[in-house]
Structure 1
Amino acid sequence: MKEKIIGEIRKYRDEIMQISRELYEHPELSEEEVFAEKLLTDHLAAHGFCVEHGICKIPTAFRASFKGEKPGPKLAFLCEYDALEGIGHGCGHNLIAAMSFGAALGLKAVLNETGGEILVLGTPAEETNGAKVTMAGEGIFDDVLAAIMLHPDGQSKESGSSLALDAVRFRFYGRTAHASSAPEKGINALDAVILLFNGINALRQHVPDDVRMHGIIAKGGLRPNIVPEYAEARFNFRAGKRKTLNEVVEKAKQCARGAAEMTGASVKIDYYELSNDDMVTNPVLGRLMSENFRFMGETDLQPACREMGSMDMGNVSHVAPAAHGFIGLGDKNLVLHTREVAERTVSEQGQRTAERGACILALTGYDVLSSTKVQEEIQKTFLPV
Structure 2
Amino acid sequence: MSTATASVSVEDAVNRRRGDLIELSHEIHAEPELAFAEFKSAAKTQALVAEYGFEITAAPAGLDTAFRARFGDGPLVVGICAEYDALPELGHACGHNIIAASAVGTALALAEVADELGLTVVLLGTPAEEAGGGKVLLLNAGAFDDVAVAVMVHPGPIDIARARSLALSQVEVTYRGREAHAAVAPYLGVNAADAITVAQTAIGLLRQQFAPGQMAHGIVTDGGQATNVIPARTVLRYTMRANDAASLRHLEGRLADCFLAGAVATGCDYDVEQTEPPYDELAPDKWLADVFRGEMIRLGRTPIGEEVEAAVPLGSTDMGNVTQVMPGIHPIVGVDADGASVHQPGFAAAAAGPSGDKAVVDGAIMLARTVVALAETPAERDRVLALHAERVAS
User: Residue 54 of structure 1 is aligned with which of 50, 59, 69?
Assistant: 59
* Deviates most, 43-52 or 139-148: 139-148
Alpha-carbon distance between aligned partners in 2 of 1:300 and 1:243, rounded to the nearest angstrom: 29
**1:106 is the counterpart of 2:109:** yes
Residue aligning to 2:26: 21
Alpha-carbon distance between aligned partners in 2 of 1:265 and 1:335, rounded to the nearest angstrom: 40
**1:326 is the counterpart of 2:332:** yes
Q: Aligned with 1:157: secondary structure? A: coil
User: Residue 204 of structure 1 is aligned with which of 197, 204, 207?
Assistant: 207
4+ residue runs over 4 A deviation: 378-384
Deviations 1:297-348 (A, max 9, x none): 3244454235341111111112221110011124572311233333323333
Residue aligning to 1:355: 361
Cα separation, partners in 2 of 1:140 and 1:199, compared to 1, 3 Å: same
Deviations 1:18-57 (A, max 9, x none): 2112112222222221111111212111011111111111
Whether contact under 8 Å (2:337, 2:346) holds in the other structure is no
Alpha-carbon distance between aligned partners in 2 of 1:206 and 1:36, rounded to the nearest angstrom: 43
Alpha-carbon distance between aligned partners in 2 of 1:343 and 1:217, rounded to the nearest angstrom: 29
Cα deviation for residue 381 of structure 1 reads 8.4
Deviations 1:178-222 (A, max 9, x none): 333322222111221111111112221222021111112222223
Instruction: Map residues 1-385 of structure 1 onto 2, 5 A cutoff.
Output: 1=5, 2-68=7-73, 71-303=74-306, 304-305=309-310, 306-330=312-336, 333-378=339-384
Cα separation, partners in 2 of 1:64 and 1:185, compared to 1, 3 Å: same
Deviations 1:267-306 (A, max 9, x none): 1111223321111112222222212222333244454235
Look up the equivalent residue of 2:162 and give its one-letter code. S
Unaligned runs of 5+ in 2: none
Look up the equivalent residue of 1:361 and give its one-letter code. L
* Deviates most, 181-190 or 30-39: 181-190
Cα separation, partners in 2 of 1:171 and 1:346, compared to 1, 3 Å: closer
Q: Aligned with 1:31: secondary structure? A: coil
What is the aligned-residue identity percentage? 30
Alpha-carbon distance between aligned partners in 2 of 1:344 and 1:264, rounded to the nearest angstrom: 49
Look up the equivalent residue of 1:81 and give its one-letter code. Y
Alpha-carbon distance between aligned partners in 1 of 2:206 and 2:355, rounded to the nearest angstrom: 45
Look up the equivalent residue of 1:360 and give its one-letter code. M
Whether contact under 8 Å (1:213, 1:235) holds in the other structure is yes
Alpha-carbon distance between aligned partners in 1 of 2:375 and 2:100, rounded to the nearest angstrom: 22
Q: Aligned with 1:45: secondary structure? A: helix
Q: Aligned with 2:278: secondary structure? A: strand
Q: Aligned with 2:277: secondary structure? A: strand
Q: Aligned with 1:232: secondary structure? A: strand
Cα deviation for residue 365 of structure 1 reads 1.0
Give RMSD over aligned pairs. 2.1
* Deviates most, 9-18 or 43-52: 9-18
Instruction: Tell me the TM-score normalised to structure 2 length.
Output: 0.91
* Deviates most, 80-89 or 119-128: 80-89
Deviations 1:96-128 (A, max 9, x none): 111111111111221111102111000112111
Deviations 1:339-375 (A, max 9, x none): 3333323333333222111110001111122233112
Unaligned runs of 5+ in 1: none
Instruction: Tell me the TM-score normalised to structure 1 length.
Output: 0.93
Whether contact under 8 Å (2:326, 2:387) holds in the other structure is no
Look up the equivalent residue of 2:41 and give its one-letter code. A
Cα separation, partners in 2 of 1:53 and 1:314, compared to 1, 3 Å: same
Q: Aligned with 1:23: secondary structure? A: helix
